[in-house]
Structure formats: C-alpha cells, structure tokens
C-alpha cells in the first residue's frame, strides 16, 4: 500500500502512515502564478494499491481540484487501485435542490470523483444518509461518534443530569447513535431554521430539553459557528448550566474562532478530519484524533 497526500491534510496523512509503519510516498505539486497546479507522482505506482488522504475544507474548490489531479496522476501512472480517504468532503450540505433553479453541487463532486477513476471513498460522518447513494463505487462512512462517546465516558458525564442535543432536526440519527453508545443517555433536538439567502440561523423551538444541568451539543461540522452560538444561547435560556460541543469537522470559516470562544459553551471538542491552522485555534478547543480509525480501516484494504 502506498499513501499519498496533497497540501490540505499533510499532518493527518503523515500520522496515518506512521501508524501503519509506512512513510508518505512522494508527489510534487507545482503552483503556477495564475493559481493552476501541476501534480506529478514521483514513485513507481504500477499495479500498486494507492491511497490519497486529502480533506476538502477551505479553500474547498482548490482542495477538490488538487485531489482530482492527484487521482488522475495516479491512474495515468498505472496504479491498480486508488482509494480516497477524504475525511471531510465538502459540498455535502448541497445534496439536493433547496430552491428551484439550483444545481445539486454534491452530485457534481460525485461525478468528478468517479470520472478521474477513484475506486473507493472513505469519509467521516457524512452530512446525510443519502451521501453514499451519489456514488456507484464503494463508499465507506466512518464516524467520530465512538471517539466522542469515549471522551464523554472519560469525563464521567452521565445520564442523570446530562442531555445530548442535536442543533437541528437533520442530526437526530446522529444523536440516537451516540445515545445508544452511552447507555441510552437522553437526547433532545432544537429546531433550527436557516435563511437561505443570508445564511443566518435562528431557533424556532425544541423537544425534550427541560430539566437538565448539562447539555452536549453534537453536530457533523462547525463552519461559521452560528449554529453553536444560537443553540448554546437557547440552552442557557432553558436553564442549562454547562454546555459542551462535539463536532466532527472543524471547518472554522469566517469569525468562528471569536464566536466559539465568546459563546457560553465550556469546551468545543472536534476531530482532526480538517487540519486547523494555528491562528484559528482557541483556548476552549480540544482536538481528538481519527488517525487510529483511518489506520484500522486501511488495514482492511
């Protein structure tokens, strides 16, 4: 097995390779002044099982393009198989038409991934259950929820005074799985609305929230931080004293660092599916690693 990585997930790829007693295989990326890139595989991959580890967070389009160019270069160099570990795969929130006249952005991504010859995709916590159905190649959805469950057990937060909270109706499936990993910890949902033209979020109601001191908000990703900010304000209004957040993908766009650090949450736990630049880290942040899970999955190849 040969592991390659582009620029977006270099650390994650190095750690995964190390866990598998391998080192990263070599490729070069030349950056042209106009923003184009040229990718060259610098090893003999003929008839080899190859792996690309590359998340597609900000800058999402650039990272996608680089990912497609690496896959194409591997295929043209004779790789037998290309397995793509894309821990965070952008555009999943655009998995259907919200307003008539729109395209289906994630459908475009799925077509491109298959067109460049990727044989298999491994992804963490897809945004919805229909994501794998976009592909006619194998798609393995892994989840950070068992990692979150271990951390919650380690903290000894228990079901007597703690409730798991999904910040929107779309997260119910996720919260039910986590509840079952935690001896049926109670769960509740917030009803969140997003204004499709401004992107602003608001809370319109909730279910199952009353009577808890501690709340654990669980989400697939944090982008602007708006969802966490309004959900935690709402929980405080409901009388919750301590709020923690567990989210798989720290996309951290815009002012998220300021918003999250200023929010009423005690701590924000995320994973390393997305490499967080040093200047986007903040004191309330704790990063949990998905490396052991990726390594275990790759051992099955």
Active site (catalytic) residues = 192
Identity of the residue, 93 or 284, whose beta carbon is nearer to ligand R5P in the bound complex: 93
Query: Binder to ligand R5P among 87, 90, 167, 250 (CB under 6 A)?
Result: 167
Which range touches ligand R5P (CB under 6 A), out of 17-25, 38-46, 162-170, 286-294? Answer: 162-170
Query: Binder to ligand R5P among 107, 117, 132, 170 (CB under 6 A)?
Result: 170
What is the closest distance, in whole angstroms, from the C-beta atom of residue 6 to ligand R5P in the complex? 24
Give the integer Cα–Cα distance in Å for 46 and 300: 21
Among residue numbers 73 through 102, which ones bind ligand R5P (CB under 6 A)? Answer: 93
Tokens encoding 254: 């815009």
224 binds ligand R5P (CB under 6 A): yes
Tokens encoding 105: 């952005």
Give the integer Cα–Cα distance in Å for 121 and 56: 13
Angle at which helices 60-76 and 105-115 cross, to 10°:
20
Identity of the residue, 193 or 296, whose beta carbon is nearer to ligand R5P in the bound complex: 193
**Sign of the four-CA dihedral 21, 26, 32, 34:** negative
Where helices occur in 155-201 by DSSP H, the ranges are 172-181
What is the closest distance, in whole angstroms, from the C-beta atom of residue 65 to ligand R5P in the complex? 23
What is the closest distance, in whole angstroms, from the C-beta atom of residue 197 to ligand R5P in the complex? 15
Rounded to a whole number of angstroms, the CA Rg of the chain reads 20
CA atoms within 13 A on the CB side of 210: 2
| 273 Cβ contact partners less than 8 Å away, ≥ 6 residues apart | 12, 55, 87, 88, 124, 144, 248, 249, 250, 290
Give the integer Cα–Cα distance in Å for 192 and 176: 18
222 binds ligand R5P (CB under 6 A): yes
225 binds ligand R5P (CB under 6 A): yes
144 binds ligand R5P (CB under 6 A): no
Among residue numbers 111 through 130, which ones bind ligand R5P (CB under 6 A)? Answer: none
Identity of the residue, 10 or 93, whose beta carbon is nearer to ligand R5P in the bound complex: 93
Query: Binder to ligand R5P among 3, 69, 116, 221 (CB under 6 A)?
Result: 221
Query: Binder to ligand R5P among 9, 143, 223, 273 (CB under 6 A)?
Result: 223
203 binds ligand R5P (CB under 6 A): no
Give the integer Cα–Cα distance in Å for 181 and 175: 10
Contacts with ligand R5P by CB under 6 A lie at 93, 167-168, 170, 201, 219-227
């Amino acid at each position: 097995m040969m592991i390659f990585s582009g620029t977006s997930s270099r650390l994650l790829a190095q750690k995964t390779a190390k866990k598998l007693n391998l080192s990263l295989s070599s490729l070069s990326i030349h950056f042209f002044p106009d923003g184009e890139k040229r990718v060259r595989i610098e090893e003999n991959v003929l008839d080899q099982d190859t792996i690309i580890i590359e998340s597609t967070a900000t800058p999402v389009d650039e990272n996608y393009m680089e990912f497609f160019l690496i896959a194409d270069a591997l295929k043209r160099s004779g790789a037998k198989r290309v397995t793509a570990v894309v821990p965070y795969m952008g555009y999943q929130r655009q998995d259907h038409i919200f307003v008539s006249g729109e395209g289906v952005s994630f459908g475009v991504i799925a077509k491109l991934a298959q067109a460049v010859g990727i044989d298999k995709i491994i992804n963490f916590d897809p945004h919805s259950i229909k994501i794998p159905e976009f592909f006619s190649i194998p798609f393995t959805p892994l989840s950070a929820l068992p990692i979150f469950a271990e951390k919650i057990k380690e903290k000894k937060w228990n079901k007597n005074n703690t409730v798991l909270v999904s910040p929107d109706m779309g997260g119910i499936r996720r919260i039910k799985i986590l509840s079952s990993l935690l001896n049926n910890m109670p769960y509740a949902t917030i009803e969140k609305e997003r204004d499709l033209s401004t992107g602003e979020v608001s809370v319109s109601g909730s279910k199952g929230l009353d009577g808890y001191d501690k709340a654990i908000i669980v989400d697939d990703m944090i982008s602007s931080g708006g969802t966490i900010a309004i959900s935690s304000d709402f929980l405080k209004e409901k009388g919750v004293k301590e709020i923690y957040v567990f989210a798989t993908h720290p996309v951290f766009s815009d002012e998220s660092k300021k918003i999250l650090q200023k929010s009423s949450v005690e701590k924000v736990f995320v994973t390393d599916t997305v490499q967080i630049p040093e200047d986007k880290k903040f004191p309330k942040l704790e990063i949990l690693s998905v490396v052991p899970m990726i390594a275990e999955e790759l051992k099955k190849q």
